[in-house]
């Protein structure tokens, strides 16, 4: 990955150009970069990342976005449409999550739209911290998550001063060890976490057992459905073996679900729902004695573009239930066909109980040999560790004709390559999101250097 992308073709702007570029020139550069970068995932060989892949749908959302891109949704008196869009996004999401069950049991299901999965998780952890302090007098809050749950929980706890307790998972099912969780709950525990499904293995944690434990101990239970929240409900409707993980379980008190993944909205949108308004309202921030006026915002962010909310709403109402169900069926069928290709090789082993997302490893050789070879055929997997594994999140681009057949053919060749090179060290390794290849060590300093390189390479001001 170059530290200076496109520097050989386009100017590097370290300061404002003295004279602005013509709009046609700016757009020409953007079209060139977009077309070249889209060509990578349009093959269907990229795990996750591009969940929709339909350019006509993107154009449709661009139209919706453009109508409201300049709007600040904080000013609801000037843009009441944002209230309509946000409320209906939340309501439609709650419908998928069986919010009526929460209402029937005395709850008041509600939510907020956030800027993504991490945003939803941050807001949830903040709500549990504040609710625990306000209603239970908790001063040293802790949260218990499965080791497999997303690092955004670690980030949230780091930012908000919450102790994070990482529970081990069953090595076969990859679901959280509920007995361990039970043994580590104390009077300062404000919430438990379960994934539906987890990012690594596509596994749904035993949410029912966690729900019982949460009710028994009088604490919250957040279900991280950021990845699966807009496809697992349709998988259940299609009859696949997906356990209940939503508000039908009385102990579930909040759920995160990313509209920008299998909701097919633009990146930067997610929904965080709550069983009760009391829990949601706990994370609000108010400042009523500021000289600039009484200040409050519904979430951590201040100003937000109305474009994302409008485009998300447009995507949801345009697809409708039947549209989502149709694409979910295609994705599950494609995933199961690709899983069958993996299982056809005795040298490969599937991990856990996958859904639309699967992960596989090998006990015969380092699985990154498979990754090394598959890269030469244009495939981009996400790498894992402990154990080394490769993960494929199946999205709509993989449902295109010929992709499954290409996967099966290339995988067979990759297994032969891995067996022939088993005594050698592989070239690739595991970094979330595919930020870098060639990694054989996850040293903190190396990761910091990678991040700094992405941000600083072209932005550092030269001396003099």
- Tens digit of pLDDT for each residue in 18-75? 999 999 999 999 999 999 999 989 999 999 999 999 999 999 999 999 999 999 988 8
Q: Please check whether residue 33 is in contact with residue 6, taking contact to mean a CB–CB distance below 8 angstroms.
A: yes
Pairwise pLDDT comparison (443 vs 280), residue with the higher score: 280
Is the pLDDT reported for residue 179 higher than 60?
yes
**CB within 8 Å of 110: residues ≥ 6 apart:** 90, 94, 273, 274, 276, 277, 280
Query: E-strand spans in 54-203?
Result: 110-114, 142-146, 163-167, 189-195
Fold for the domain defined by 321-448: 3.90.1150
Helix extents (H) in 282-428: 306-343, 368-376, 403-420
List Cβ<8 Å contacts ≥24 apart for 87-90: 88/313, 88/316, 88/317, 89/113, 89/259, 89/271, 89/309, 89/312, 89/313, 89/316, 90/271, 90/273
Is the pLDDT reported for residue 433 higher than 70?
no
Is the pLDDT reported for residue 464 higher than 80?
no
Q: Please check whether residue 397 is in contact with residue 44, taking contact to mean a CB–CB distance below 8 angstroms.
A: yes
pLDDT of residue 436: 38
Phi-psi map region of 239: left, alpha, beta (phi>0 left; psi -120 to 50 alpha): left
Question: What residues does each domain of the chain span?
Answer: 81-315, 321-448
Fold for the domain defined by 81-315: 3.40.640
- Chain-centroid distance, C-alpha 54: 19
pLDDT of residue 441: 45
- Tens digit of pLDDT for each residue in 299-337? 888 888 999 999 999 999 999 999 999 999 999 999 999
Q: For residue 178, give the nearest of 251, 128, 232 by alpha carbon.
A: 251
**CB within 8 Å of 384: residues ≥ 6 apart:** 200, 359, 390, 391, 430
53 CB neighbour count, 10 Å cutoff? 20
- Mean pLDDT of all residues in 160-184: 97
Q: Please report the DSSP string for 241-291 in residue order.
A: -----STTSTT--EEEE-TTTTT---SS-EEEEES-HHHHHTT-EEE-S-T
- Tens digit of pLDDT for each residue in 99-156? 999 999 999 999 999 999 999 999 999 999 999 999 999 999 999 999 999 999 999 9
Report the half-sphere exposure of 170 (CA within 13 A, side-chain side). 14
Q: Which residue has the tokens 């010929």?
A: 402
Q: Please check whether residue 219 is in contact with residue 258, taking contact to mean a CB–CB distance below 8 angstroms.
A: no
User: What pTM was estimated for this model as a whole?
Assistant: 0.92
Q: Please check whether residue 294 is in contact with residue 306, taking contact to mean a CB–CB distance below 8 angstroms.
A: no
Classify residue 143 by its DSSP letter: E
Q: Please report the DSSP string for 12-38 in residue order.
A: --SS--SSPPPHHHHHHHHHHHHHHHH
Is the pLDDT reported for residue 219 higher than 60?
yes
Is the pLDDT reported for residue 88 higher than 60?
yes
Taking CA atoms, 279 is separated from 101, 106, 214, 365, 451, in Å, by 17, 14, 15, 49, 35
Phi-psi map region of 238: left, alpha, beta (phi>0 left; psi -120 to 50 alpha): alpha
Is the pLDDT reported for residue 453 higher than 80?
no
């Amino acid at each position: 990955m170059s530290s200076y992308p496109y520097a050989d073709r386009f100017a590097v702007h370290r300061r404002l150009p003295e004279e602005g570029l013509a709009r046609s020139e700016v757009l020409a550069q953007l079209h060139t970069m977009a077309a070249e970068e889209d060509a990578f995932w349009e093959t269907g060989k990229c795990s996750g990342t591009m969940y929709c892949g339909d350019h006509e749908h993107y154009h449709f959302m661009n139209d919706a976005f453009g109508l409201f891109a300049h709007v600040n949704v904080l000013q609801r008196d000037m843009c009441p449409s944002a209230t309509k869009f946000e409320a209906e996004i939340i309501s439609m999401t709650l419908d998928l999550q069986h919010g009526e069950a929460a209402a029937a049991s005395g709850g008041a299901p509600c939510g907020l739209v956030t800027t993504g999965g991490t945003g939803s998780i941050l807001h949830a952890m903040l709500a549990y911290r504040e609710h625990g302090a306000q209603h239970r007098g908790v001063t040293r809050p802790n949260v218990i998550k499965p080791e497999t749950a997303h690092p955004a929980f670690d980030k949230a706890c780091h930012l908000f001063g919450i102790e994070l307790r990482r529970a081990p998972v069953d090595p076969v099912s990859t679901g959280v060890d509920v007995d361990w969780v039970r043994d580590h709950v104390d009077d300062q525990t404000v919430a438990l976490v379960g994934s539906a499904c987890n990012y690594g293995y596509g596994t749904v944690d035993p949410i029912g057992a966690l729900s019982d434990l949460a009710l028994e101990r009088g604490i919250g239970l957040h279900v991280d459905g950021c990845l699966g929240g807009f496809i697992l409900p349709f998988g259940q409707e299609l009859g696949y073996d997906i356990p209940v993980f939503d508000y039908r379980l009385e102990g579930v008190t909040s759920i995160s679900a990313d509209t920008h993944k299998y909701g097919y909205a633009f990146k930067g949108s997610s929904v965080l729902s709550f069983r009760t308004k009391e829990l949601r309202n706990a994370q609000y921030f108010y400042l009523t004695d500021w000289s600039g006026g009484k200040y409050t915002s519904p979430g951590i962010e201040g100003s937000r573009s109305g474009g994302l909310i409008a485009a998300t709403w447009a995507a949801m109402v345009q697809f409708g239930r039947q549209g989502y169900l149709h694409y979910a069926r295609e994705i599950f069928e494609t995933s199961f066909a690709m899983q069958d290709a993996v299982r056809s090789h005795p040298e490969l082993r599937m991990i856990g109980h996958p859904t639309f997302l699967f992960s596989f490893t090998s006990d015969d050789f380092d699985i990154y040999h498979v990754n090394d070879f598959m890269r030469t055929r244009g495939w981009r997997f996400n790498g894992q560790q402990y154990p080394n594994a490769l993960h494929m999140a199946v999205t709509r681009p993989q449902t295109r004709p010929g992709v499954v057949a290409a996967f099966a053919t290339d995988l067979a060749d990759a297994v032969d390559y891995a067996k022939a090179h088993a005594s050698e060290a592989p070239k690739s390794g595991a970094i979330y999101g595919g930020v870098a290849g060639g990694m054989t060590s996850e040293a903190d300093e190396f990761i910091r250097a990678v991040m700094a390189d992405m941000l600083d390479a072209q932005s550092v001001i030269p001396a003099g």
